[in-house]
Every structure is written in structure tokens, then in C-alpha cells.
Chains A and B, each alone.
Chain A
């Protein structure tokens, strides 16, 4: 909190149950307010839909990383085993890459998975600002334990809506 200077004042409402949180999020949005962030101690199932978040595009990224991994694997096996230093292993044909391909399938598979998985995790962490050395963005440490916090820009009549939705604590900052 100390690290960020916010030009517009925000309201933070705390809840202590995930079911209450989801219904509260729906009520707040139905009343016409925009939620900027929700902090939870664990992933809450269905919260992304209740908040109306855009569908993630990480799957598309993962697919492209997989294709990249496959390309790297093909290049690697071709250069090492066919082009640069052809090796006769078990008498398998190595005149061109295609003839020797079945022997490379485990490598193709592993590198595809390796690239897709690792780059997907890094992408996820960077997009979410969780890269090493980044500042903690959690305004209240209780949201890492047993509380759920909804953060939204201050507006008229908002506090009433929040109270009605079951908030246990409301703070303006």
C-alpha cells in the first residue's frame, strides 16, 4: 500500500466466506459498480465468471510455446544427429531426418511439453506481476489467511451496497 500512490480513492470491503463473496460480487456488479480487484487466500471457484473477467488467452500462448518447442526439437535432432555428426545407432537409417524420425519422437514430445509448460508458467507469473523482486500488492495481510477482500473505486451509495452484501469490514483509502 505504501508503494502505490492512487489518484482515486478506493473502497475495500472484507468478507469471511467464499460463498458470501461470490454472491456479494454478483450483487455489487448488478448494482452497477465496477470491481477493480478481489484478494482471496485461495482460488475461489467461479469467481472469474462472477467478476466478468475476460477469458484467459494463456491456452493460445501455451499452444504457440508448444509449437516453438516442437520446432526447436526438430532443429536440434536434425542438426545434431543428421547434419553435423551423423551417427549410426542400432543400424537405424539416418540418411535424412524423416527416416530416423521414430527414434526422435520422445525428444519431440518432451521438448514440446517442456517449452509449453515452462513458458506458460513464466508468462502467467509475469502477467500477474509475480516476477522475482516485484513488490507485494496485498493491501491487507488477512487476505492471505481467512478473509476475502473486494477492492473498487469509491462512489456514491457504494458503502450501503457493500454492507447489504454481507461485508464484515469496510475501509476507505
Chain B
């Protein structure tokens, strides 16, 4: 496991006593403003200067509260309370049906997603919102009898200083639900990924139990010894496959299939999980991450506190990265030979199946935008099918994706590190004119308006990961290129809201390379 632990080198996870973990701004020091090439970005990351960059003209970079609630909202029998005005996470409205469908697709009870706003108003800004929060918790308990009530703290109480931990502690004796405070105030972090840590911090403090240490149990009965031995053997082969918001049921089935064929028992967690499964997370033989950007805080903490082993390496999209992901797991569990046999078989079968799509895809050009680990692995896969990667746009860039820069064949390939910022990305795309764009939700529509066909980077009911995911991804891209009429028609008839002078400018001039927005102040605002 020596290799993959490098990603977390120097990081510590002993923040349990704090109400909130440090934001990614200080803990990981990523950048979300860097325009250059794979080569220059690698150099900038080495020098540690990119993290200071910011922009003159800016579009929305996202809010950590949305990503934090995106995790906890999926738990079974949970009510989420947003302590704030009606707007924070009001996008739940657009996602409630999505989450309900995902529950059904994953074979979980397809209940409505329930959330409550404390609905802070002008007088609460002055007087605080403690009463409303208390009322909301009691309402949630009475109406829904949830296993868990998660309270996401927004900017308003963060600035005026409502102490949600104290309010929830007071209520703990009055409700049977577990109460989980999540500190995810948007203004505190420039990086939405801080929301993952915020949610997992709450989960780790309030929901995960210490693993039971059965090896220390002594009994005189041989039946009991045998039973414990059975459990020990079971546990030694039980792994947690840590899912993320964008893993589809198809992804979970495929990755579980692969791991099961190594003789492992797979729990898919923690999204869409129930409270008992989450409580036992520390007991598994191995926590398997599929996205370092998503999971480092969770697995780092479980290792530091309970000694639960983990692997954190690449994201299993495409052949190379699925194989690499598997090898790291095989090594961690002492299944090197079995893993190699499996990889050999799966790769051979997949390569043969991909052959027909190569004819359509080879020589075509590509741009990929979205989460850092996902876009680099996706680009690498299409590159392996003979496509040329013209550029990538990671939302942010940090240590977790640095090794992936080397997977892009041409080191001069463009990289535009930008959370959102379609204005910059569309200038790149207008100049480079890729044959296909693979993009994050919210980006594809703008790109179609520019006349470039798109496919989504992830999807609720589609398989992207593992060997079958690679096949599906190739199939999808080849299909998109069979008919590109829509993007042509749209581009001829619909305009984007930019001035010509912006199209003519160099987007790099929009980046301020001097320290300006870096986080020097923390948690002193109250």
C-alpha cells in the first residue's frame, strides 16, 4: 500500500474535537484559477504558487453546502435541515426527484427526500435563529421519525454566530434521531470539495461507531470460538466500496462484480446507506476509495482513529485506471496473482469489444470538463481509443490529481483549472473546436450553443466505471458522433452572452497571479 498512501502524505485527520475541520483552502491547498498546459501546471503545483491565483471576471464557483448536503441527503430515513434563509440548497427542489429515483434504482426504499429550511428572515439576522432550529428539529422528529437529522449550517448563522452544536446537544435527550451538525457555510471556502469534509466530519463524529474488536474476546465455549472465527474470516474479506454522488447503480454493480470475483464481500457506502451500515464503517478490512478528492478526509480519519486500512489511488474509469485501481486493492489484500489473472481476462474481453467503436472515435478530438480525477481518467480512456485530448477543465486542482497529468500524452495539452467559469472555457472551445465535449452538469448546454456535440461526464442511470463502464462510455461517444445535427442547428440560431472582445482576448489575462484571495483569516468571524 506504500504507493497509494503518497496521495495523503503529510495530511493529518485528528480534528474530531473541533466543530469543523479546516477547509480545503488550508488543509489541501488546491487552486481553482490556473490556465496553462499539463506541463506548466505540474510545474506550478511543484512550486506551490497556483493556490494564490484568483480572477478579475468571475462566475459562480459553487457552494460547499450543496456538496455536503448532496451526501447526507441520500441516507435512508434522514431529514436534512438547512439552517438558513429559503435559498440555501433550494436546488433540492430540482434534485428531489433525482434522489428518489436513485434510491429506487439502487434497490433502496424510494421515499421522498425530506428537507426543512429554518427560513431565517431579517429579524433572525439580528436575534439569531435558535428557536426556529429547535422547532424544525422537533417537527422533523414528530412527522418523520427519522434515524438521523442532519443540520447544515449556512452563511447567515455562520456570520451572526448561531451555535448549532450547542442547540443540537440540548435537543439530544428529547429526540430519538441522531443529530448531526454539518458546518458548511459557503463563504468559508473557495472550494466546494470542503463540503465533502464537512459532511464526513459530522458523520464521523456522530454516526460511526468504534469497531468491535472481537479478537480480544475470550470464551470457554468452542461453539463460540467457532462463531467468532467465522466472523473474523468474514470481516477479513469484507470491504467498503465508497460511493460518491455521481456513481450510478450500474457503476456500483460493476465495481462490486469485479471485487466479488476476487472473493470479497462488498458493502457500497456511505451514500444511500442506512444508519446501521454507516455505524459499522470502521469494521471493514479495507475502505476502497474511487475518488481521492471525495474521500481523503473520511478514510484518513477512519485509519487514524480506528486503524481501518484503505486504498486511495485512481478513479476506475477506462482500462488503464480500472486496472491500476484493482492492482492497488489486490496488493493491499495480498491477492496480487488473482488480481493479475482477473485483469488479464477482463482487459482481453473488453479490448475486443471496443474494437468496433475505435473506427468512429480514432482521430477525433476531445475536451473534458468536471471533477479533477474523473476528467483525467475519462480523457485517458478516450485517448487510449485513439482520440486526441485537446484540453481539460478541472473544477479545482490539487495533490490528488497531480499524478494524472502524466497520463495525457501531449504535455502541451491545455488545462484550464476553473470551478464553473464557462466564459473562459467557451473561449478555449471556440478556438480549439473539439469534435466532442464531455462535461459536468450545467456545462453541456452552453457548449451545444457553441456548436460542439456533448456527452455527460456522469449519469444517474448509466454505467461509466469499471470494464463495462468503459464499454458504455465508448458506445455513448460513438453514438453522439453519429448525428451532430442538434449542435449545428443550435449554434446557427442561438447566441452566447459574450462580447466579441472577450472571444478575442486571452483568457489567461483574466487570472490574477498575485496573492489576493488566499485564506489568511479563519473562524475568527463571529
Q: Do A and B come from one complex?
A: no
